[in-house]
A and B are shown apart, each in its own frame.
Chain A
Amino acid sequence: MSFSNQVLVIGAGIAGMEASLMLAKSGKKVFLVEKLSLIGGNVIKNEESFPNLECSTCMVAPIQQAVLQDPNIETMTLSTVEKIDGDVGHFEVSVLKKARYASMTDCIGCGMCYEPCPVSLSNEWEENLGEKKAIYVPTAGSLPNVPAIEAEHCLQLSGKKECNACVEACMFGAIDLSETDEQMQLEVGAILLATGSDLFDVSQLTQFGYGKYPSVYTSIEFERLFASNGPTLGEIKIRNSDRQPKAVAMIHCVGREEQGYCSGVCCMVSLKHAHFLKHKLGDVKLFNLYTDFCVPDKTHQKFQKNIIEETQSIFHTSMKDIKVTEADSVLNVAYIDAKGKEASLNVDMVILAPAIIPGKDTEVLSRIAGIETTEIGFLGLKSGGLSTVETAREGVFLAGCAEGPKDVQSSVTQAESAVGGMLARLSSLTS
């Protein structure tokens, strides 16, 4: 028996979406499993992407739409894979599809149901910089543009109290509180894991003051602070205040020593943030603190040069023993400069560039998929033989940041490559 005309893609970030579209175009039926209520992954959190500083939504929304509208792709949001049995050509996959409580076909995305919901929650997707209701879309422009309800916080669904506010607000009868989680069985020939990555938890490194001082941010928090569909609608204001920063330090490589590798993209991200700040605030002093500049692409050095020129950032090197302290809302960043001397800066905002680390679910996924992780903990490729996308389990492939830190270009390339690997493997079964 062979199910080789169906494939499974786990994770609907840029890698998973690109792979799904290509697989669908080649005639495969694609099941795209995404654990969140929206597709798009990390890229849609960034207002603009390096190296072209183009609008990420403009770049990615057509891809998201194409995925959602492709008749060969069944996008399963709020879903996770629980079990993978079988072998290449005939995997049997169990998927837990959590109830959304709003109908994908009837909802038109008008947003009338959020307002009346009495439950406010911290919005994780917005890096907890904003709020959402128990019925929510993570951000304006989410695709699919259909809300989901967090059952454990919804008054009605959690049994705390009777409530029907959202149901009443919906003119389309799109909300159904009796929906239940679904356990599904899929039969697929090949599997692609494209579940992305996470960021190093910088609160472990107390010297940076993250979590202690409100004006210390991580790079991804800053992306949301800058985004025009973010919690402040793009206004750069320091947490719990109305203050705009006048001087900002961007600290590279946070967690690099602890993790033991360079993430390869955070230098570019920090440069991009310098540009964002200059662009939006104009009169702002910028400092990038780094050890090595890692700008490895034909376009990146020019990007670096342009931004240094534009922002007049001051760059120090060989920074060691960084310590961030706060007095009267002013942050003091002490470090050892290039000449080995003690130095310090006064700023009112610090943006840390944390290392890119394996996604939270990596261990679980590696167990379910029956593949190894690398020494660092990312999902591992088959060892030896110059492997690029195939894992040790035949028919299971990797792409994007699930395999290791990378930028959008490399994530897309790896996804495209994986598609070829999957198609070739499947056609070798039938011929």
Chain B
Amino acid sequence: MKKKVGIYICQCGPNIADNVDIDKIIESVSAFNDADDLEIVAKPYGLLCSGEGKDYLKQEIEENGLTHLVIGACSPRDHNNTFIGVCKETSLNPYLYKLINIREHCAWIIHDKDKATEKAIQYIRGGLRRVLYQSELFENKLDTNPDVLVIGGGIAGIEAALSLADADRQVFLIEKTDRLGGKAATFKTVLPKQQDAVEAIQLKIQTVQDHPHIQVMLNTRLDRIIGFLGNFEAEVRSIDDAEKMTELKIGAMVVASGFSLYDASTHPDFIFSGDDEVYTALQIEQMIAEKNQVTTRSGKAPKSVAMIHCVGREEVGYCSQICCNAMIKLAARFKTQSPDTTVKVFFRDLCLPHQDDQAFYNEIKAQGVEFVRVNRIATEGSQIKFTTMDENEGSELFDMVVLAPAMIPADGTPDLATKLGISLHETGFFQEAHQAINPVATATDGIFIVGTAHGPRGIQATLLQAQAAASKIRVQLIPGEQIVPEVRVSETLEAFCMGCKTCLEVCHYGAIVFDEDKGISVVKEAVCRGCGNCVGSCPSGAIQLKHFTNPQLYQEMIEAVQ
């Protein structure tokens, strides 16, 4: 078929026209006209991005029966979408169009008009050659399943489930233990601004259990998943009865597997056994929850309590964000239980990063809780040895010692990551898609991470993340609406693939599977994000990225680097 390429050069007022000789460009690109099967239509225009400019382009495409389109204008950042929009309103497939930036790359940066023109010609010829090698691509719409699987029944998972479930969206909530609520559900003490947290959490648990659109599955774990955003299939299995497997069809997943605590007894500076009066903060919380008071193993109220912050912080390599607050809260609790209890808090840095934290700290300090800044600290049973900032050494015996061990990822996190095909951060928590601007998503579309599975944090921050993930799902998976997956994705050329599996290693999105029968790698188009990693890695050149194929890039390059 005869190809008819339209090349339109925007003057951008004087911006391009003054510094680049547009007539010369037109003359040069028209020289391609001689080939039998190629006809060039090359024209200048005032402002292509204006309303009239867009109408003009549409008219030109239709009237000339253009098969390809090259535009020489400004940065794709400004107007690529504008011209894609123009194509979409015509019979021209937008993947047969190419925008060449002759403003920022030529007119605005090269002062010598001849040189700027020369470069613009090279670029446009490159674009022309490239566009001839481009292929039509068609967006194809996929039906989606709006239902969601939530993994972990702590407050993170509960909040995600509650934010999502409604008549149009079923939520499956799996929890590996036999009860909902995670750690926070047992707390009887909370921070001042969380006064009604205890009831609020109990209410949320009750609501989840009674919710017509939430199916809670206790003692259940994930076995495997396959699929992609909008169309996942998950197998979940009962922990008590290995025979009991349920298959779930869902469109997205929220991972809310929570945290564990650093095992302080493995730390060389903290020497204690189960008989010693040494407890973790969580054990104190549990003690309060069970009997509404804190006592030593002999059943007596402690007269002196040492509270040690940051246990294992150096070892895990991060600050756990909430333990300073949690310890201050427990210090307050000791004072309420008996105002003349001696409470000494040993810390290195206080981390109180929320609006109300410092006021609470000041209040507790005023109640007589003593804060001692230490450089080093060690325990032997409830005998504490420490060095203060001014290098003074101290040693004191307490009735009770409370440790704030670092929050670490929940047991089984690496295994869960493997099953889900998502990455872990170097701290062992799950890795987000982008730390600043896409914090609750993962590299895999449709899988979200929230709460302390994401990193150490308190209840409010946990709820926020759960709600954020729910919002993202709401926006991405609207019940009854289809999704349009990326079309510029990779494909393996069967004949060239040697089955070396190199590409499987480099794909961060788990988009490549190995077909054992054929002995080749296959790209799952719906999962592929078109990053191109695999293309570069394949030793036999068997993978190509649609719209960025080697011939396309080569054609553009040979002109551009002449």
Chain B interface (Cβ within 8 Å of chain A)? 12-15, 47, 49-51, 74, 77, 81, 163, 166-167, 194-197, 200-201, 313, 317-319, 321, 349-359, 362, 373, 389-391, 425-427, 429, 435-440, 455-456, 459-461, 463-465, 467-472, 474-476, 478
Contact = CB atoms under 8 A, between A and B. Distances in A.
- Residue among A54, A405, A424, A427 having the largest count of chain B Cβ atoms under 10 Å: A424
Contacts of B455: 297-298
A384 B196 contact: yes
A300 B426 CA distance: 12
Interface string A371-394: 000111010000011101100000
Nearest to A173: B13
Identify the interface centre among A51, A61, A293, A413: most chain B CB within 10 Å of its CB: A413
A210 to B, nearest CB: 23
A63 B77 CA distance: 11
Given A413-B439, A416-B472, A292 B467 contact: no
Contacts of A339: 389-391
B207 to A, nearest CB: 13
Nearest to B197: A386
27 contacts: A25-B475, A26-B474, A52-B435, A59-B437, A108-B12, A172-B47, A260-B362, A261-B352, A262-B352, A262-B358, A294-B350, A297-B321, A298-B455, A338-B389, A385-B200, A386-B201, A389-B467, A404-B354, A412-B438, A412-B468, A413-B439, A413-B440, A416-B440, A416-B472, A417-B468, A418-B471, A420-B467
B351 A296 contact: yes
A412 B389 contact: no
Given A110-B15, A384-B196, A299 B318 contact: yes
A344 interface: no
B435 A295 contact: no
Contact of B460 (A22, A299, A340, A386): A386
Most chain A beta-carbon contacts within 10 A, residue among B81, B313, B474: B474
A408 interface: yes
A375 B192 CA distance: 14
Given A261-B355, A262-B357, A292-B349, A171 B14 contact: yes
Contacts of A416: 440, 467-469, 471-472
A318 to B, nearest CB: 6
Contact of B436 (A52, A260, A376, A431): A52
> Which one of A412, A416, A418 has the highest number of Cβ atoms from chain B below 10 Å of its Cβ?
A416
B437 A14 contact: yes
Given A261-B357, A264-B353, A339-B390, A297 B163 contact: no
Contacts of A262: 352-353, 357-358
Contact of A317 (B389, B425, B429, B463): B389
Contacts of A421: 467
Nearest to A261: B358
A81 B438 CA distance: 29
Contacts of A298: 318, 425, 427, 429, 455-456
B318 A388 contact: no
Contacts of B81: 69
Nearest to A380: B355
B252 to A, nearest CB: 14
Nearest to A22: B475
Contacts of B469: 416
Given A292-B350, A294-B353, A260 B359 contact: yes
A301 B437 contact: no
Given A171-B13, A421-B467, A388 B358 contact: no
Interface string A357-372: 0000000000000000
A419 interface: yes
A256 B319 CA distance: 21
Given A386-B200, A386-B460, 18 more contacts: A25-B476, A52-B436, A59-B436, A108-B49, A110-B12, A293-B349, A294-B353, A295-B319, A296-B319, A386-B196, A388-B464, A412-B436, A412-B438, A413-B461, A413-B465, A416-B469, A420-B470, A423-B474
A412 B439 contact: yes
Contacts of A264: 353-354
Nearest to A170: B13
Given A260-B358, A262-B357, A63 B437 contact: yes
Interface string A27-42: 1000000000000000
B351 A294 contact: yes
A388 B463 contact: yes
Contacts of B201: 386
A4 interface: no
A386 B467 contact: no
Contacts of A215: none
